[in-house]
Structure 1
Amino acid sequence: MEDAMKNLTRYLTGAALCAVCASAPAPAFAQASPAGAEAAEEDEARGDIARATQLYREGNEAFKQKRWSDAELKYLKAWGLVRSFDIAANLGEVQLQLNKPRSAATFLSFALRTAPPSTKPEQLARIRHFLGEAKAQVGTLRVRAMNVAEVEVYLDGERVPEEAARHELYLEPGEHVLLMRHAGYEDAVLRVITGPGLTETIAHRLKPKAEKAPGAAGAPAANDAPPAKLPETTAAPREARSWVPVIALGAASAVGLGLGVGFTVAANAASADGDRQQAMLRQAGGGCVDVPAEYSHLCSGLRDSASRVETRTRTATVAYVAAGALAIGAVTYALWPRERTTTSRGVHASAELSPDRAGIVVRGVW
């Protein structure tokens, strides 16, 4: 870690001073800036380096203690001041620990591309190792235009930085919308589906815009037309099937089955009463013809039991049939192909009992 700190300080100092030199105007083309302005710029660059170095050290301490969230915060603040391969390498490794493989791959690939020649082989091997782990969890995309040198790249509506667009893009597994743009050419909008560990190269030929005749004064030129809008990435959701009828029909079927079982039990009880009364009549010496007066009530009870058995058996049969029909209706509705409709849906089920019939009435629209 100490070697990394030394490399970081040397790398940041050199990068910052080169940036200051590059920003100074050339004396052959512009008036030289005052010496005070150059000194101020150099002091500001050195101040950023000092703050980034301190944040980097604090991030390393959190890293050693496996306080990944604290380390990420320190490294991100340092990255905001100065973009160094050391910061990117440690930040990518921490984000991999925080289950952020896409961002981790972005930082680790930057670190690998920008590592200076003095970087130790074991440090480069470590970066490659963690980059491989990150890429195994995301999709990798390379974008090239076949007929132009550079293109603007948009991914899911957000512009990709030019430096990243020239190398590799890392995507969460799933479907994404890719847009390629270049002045004088029509926008190319492509849908990309990627998965963990997959690498895809898209080489697309852009189509030149059709030349149009000059319009009236003040009319926009052909190349000044507003950029094409990205298509919606999410299709309008289909109307979900209503499960209320299935639940209602299933509940009504269960009620019908319960009624059938109840009437079956009642019919069996009435049949048992009839059998008992018939046995008593046999013991009295006959049937209900010329029966002694003391057994006449048994004949009346026997006829009543027979009537109850018949009524309850018929009612149980109707309930079983209704329960089966309702269950078939619920299954049919659940599996039947449907079309969209704006008709309001509703279902109502009610039991209907009378002296001469029994059943379940279902009314509904679905």
Structure 2
Amino acid sequence: MASTGRLLLAVVAAAVVWSRAAVAAGEEPSAGPSGAATMRSEAEEAFARGERARRAGRWQDAEAAYRAAWKADPRPELAGELGLSELALGRPRDAAEHLWESLLYPETLQPAALRRFRAGLEKAERVISVATVAVSRPEAEVFIDGRSIGRGQGMYFVYLDPGRHEARGTLEGYVDDVYPFEAQRGRESMVGLHLELKPPPPVAPAPVASAPVASAPVASAPVASASIVAPAVPAPAATPGGPSAGTVFRVGGVALASAGVALGTGFAVAAAVRGGEAEAQAAQIRERDGAAACLSKAYAEPCGVLREMIDARDTLKAAAWGSFIGAGVAGAVALSSLLWAPEPGKRAVRAAPLAAAHGGGVIFSGSW
């Protein structure tokens, strides 16, 4: 299953997803310093109730108390305790969401709490599924099984129960893209949604005026009669049925290349941020404990965090290069189709990007 290092790659996406979920749940920020102090006091009281219930093994009461504390003061420690309570109650998907949120800022947690939350998340991930959803138009709204998971991002990371699911991307002026997939227990699904512009409405053909039929007088004769018949007007040539598969392929390829460049840029920026954090962590360790501190078991915790940062930075760099290379390949193939333009076909060509923290790819379907 995914490691904690991989989970930290989606910090930006997660912050937006969880903030939207909080707004949807009706949570509002406190108004002023006095309101904030009151909320913190309520959170501490609820947290104390949760701790007493947890020690007594009353997980239902503990979950309710931790949830009240987290709503009053949504800090990582309270999210983690809520997640562990949900895990004990047999709700691994809810538990994974709250435990993952608690680990977004590990520096705010005590070492013992950090170990407990990581162990709980690993346990939850073994029985649920993970989905990484990439969409070619970041401004599109993305749904999973009819539930909105966000708008305004190029990638989303969600936990799902094992089973059949459906991802959908919608944007005004574009054709919805729907992607059904099977989420398997303990495994990750990568979903690509590619939205294409809606075709313009068909233009009604101009009416063709019929040529008048010329009539001629009949010449009288003692034995025979003759008449003159106007020549038949030729039927207009049939108009083409629509763009060829080659045209659709080229348009899709250019759009896919643009999406790849956008994703690669995002990965590159995230890699730079993660690299800066790793350098700061390394400098802090060197300044406090010397250059050889990570060789000692006494510094396993800060050095472990440093290794995770470095792994995250390297993974993001690889994903950025993969996105840029994929964009170049898609653009080159689209342009090369000018040389081998296929015959018009009945089926459109569909190209959908697949992108995730560990890499990406492209799906082509259709006939050409």
User: If the length of structure 2 is used for normalisation, what is the TM-score?
Assistant: 0.43
Ranked by relative contact order (alpha carbons within 8 Å, sequence separation 6 or more), the top structure is: 2
User: If the length of structure 1 is used for normalisation, what is the TM-score?
Assistant: 0.43
